[in-house]
Amino acid sequence: MKVIRRKTLAAASALTLGIGLAVTGGLAPAASAAGPETTYLVLAPQGAKTDRAAARVAAADGTVVARYDQIGVLVARSANPRFTTAVAGAGVDSVAATAGLGTALEEGETVEVPAADAVRTTADATAEPLFAQQWDMPMMRVPQAHAVNAGSPDVVVGVLDSGISSTHPDLASQIAKDKSASCVGGVADTTEAAWNPTTSDHGTHVAGTIAAAVNGVGVTGVAPGVKVAAVKVVNDDGYIFPEAAVCGFIWAAEHGMQVTNNSYYIDPWEFNCRNDARQRPVWQAVQRAIRYSASKGVLNVASAGNSNVDLQHKTVDEGSPNNGTPETREINSACLDLPAEAPGVVTVSAVGPTGEKSYYSSYGQGVVEVTAPGGDTRFRTQGARSTTTDAILSTTFNTATRTNGWGYKQGTSMSSPHVAGVAALAVSAHPGMNPGQLAAFLQNTAVAKPCPAGVYNPVPLFSAADPHLYDATCSGGARNGFYGAGMVDAYNVVR
């Protein structure tokens, strides 16, 4: 039996260089409102309009705060404790409260270092002040790709995350402000302050990996010629709620984005089970949003997760929810990691500087499409200690001092934006590809990586209590559970 326990990434996974830059039918009678205001996803039948559902919301003492007619989904709020039963009926397919369904974004600790090395004048990507520490870029042949095509400004990557610092010197010129918004609460807010980071620099780090400018400062992104759009889906408490993700996918679809990056999972339960009455509406709403975005030309890229889980074989989850006391529950093929396991999403595992699977990266034959650098700070010491520079260097924002900088983080959260960046290069070089063609192109141009023999565990010293904590077994041949079709290759997609 495969037991899944949520694992935590090693400490010292983030290092920041702070430089202080300024930078319808009969309606049920409503019950009297007598409880805390709660947010709900209300779904009309597939393909139906939301008018009848909206009428039922109003009759149940609720308010529609966002209406996504494109996919038949409403975001509603109500203080009626019987709202779920009161709103049910003709015109409503399903409904679920999202209270308690927010999942925490994983963050790493920050270690500040002197910033002098981050500033130097150069116009050469390989001579950006911190490029020598970006071991991830040569691994994907990014320098060779830049010599051919560094990306088109007509290509926009939506960063569904915690916001992007609009004053960061490596990102200020790279952000498509007219396409940026906060989706926190399920309602789009286009004010610049709303989509900037408040309590997390995760989105700023992701954005730098995708498109940090070649400007003589800091680092270079995989596709410095493209634009990124901040689509904030993480609230100030560090949680992603389903309504925010739905809003994010629809926003990207309606604002001409070709790619989105999704370094998170939806729901504090690591796996969303379609056979669970409460979780099913979340699955339906998110899946509708993803399908709609794909129909509008968006390729969605997502991280596989950091639990060292074989996503192809999962039976028991003991590590969820992550916003309360973990419980044990049986899971099966109806239980999926969202958005990573949603159909049509490119799922990415992580490797470290050796090119081998990072100790924490989840995997799975038929689940992982490709792999990319995500960092592995423990492989050198077999898990005993961290080596920070073996993580991924990118742009950061110190939320305490409100200053911009550069620093290290690791996780599949970091591998996914590498793939989003390569996808942006591919669209730049070969405009007109639809999402399915683009996903296939990324896989067909990837460099295959074979499975390691036997049981794989690069960090046996990570836990004295359980030296087998990070054991993993790879299955498959040229396309396998650890690496999918292989390492994405930036040069291959542009030449």
Output the CA torsion sign for 2, 245, 185, 333.
negative
Convert 274-324 into a string of H (helix), E (strand) and C (coil).
CCCCCCHHHHHHHHHHHHHHHHCCCEEEEECCCCCCECCCCCEEEEECCCC
What distance in Å separates the CA atoms of residue 428 and residue 148, rounded to the nearest whole number?
11
What distance in Å separates the CA atoms of residue 358 and residue 374, rounded to the nearest whole number?
7
Type of residue numbered 181: A
Type of residue numbered 56: R
Which residues lie closer than 8 Å to 250 by C-beta, 6 or more apart?
Answer: 68, 70, 71, 289, 292, 293
Decide the pairing of beta strands 345-351 and 370-373. Answer: parallel
Token couple for 449: 């990586």
What distance in Å separates the CA atoms of residue 110 and residue 104, rounded to the nearest whole number?
18
Please give the positions annotated as active site. Answer: 161, 202, 413
Integer angstrom CA distances of residue 25 from 48, 53, 91, 107, 368: 14, 10, 8, 47, 45
Please count the residues of the chain. Answer: 495
Type of residue numbered 202: H
Token couple for 400: 């305490």
Assess contact for 15 and 113: CB atoms under 8 A: yes
Token couple for 3: 């037991």
Q: What is the DSSP letter of 287?
A: H
Instruction: Give the SS3 label for residue 406.
Output: strand
Q: Alpha helices of 65-183 — where are they, by DSSP H?
A: 83-87, 136-139, 142-146
Output the CA torsion sign for 318, 323, 324, 330.
negative
Neighbours of 374 (CB within 10 A): 31
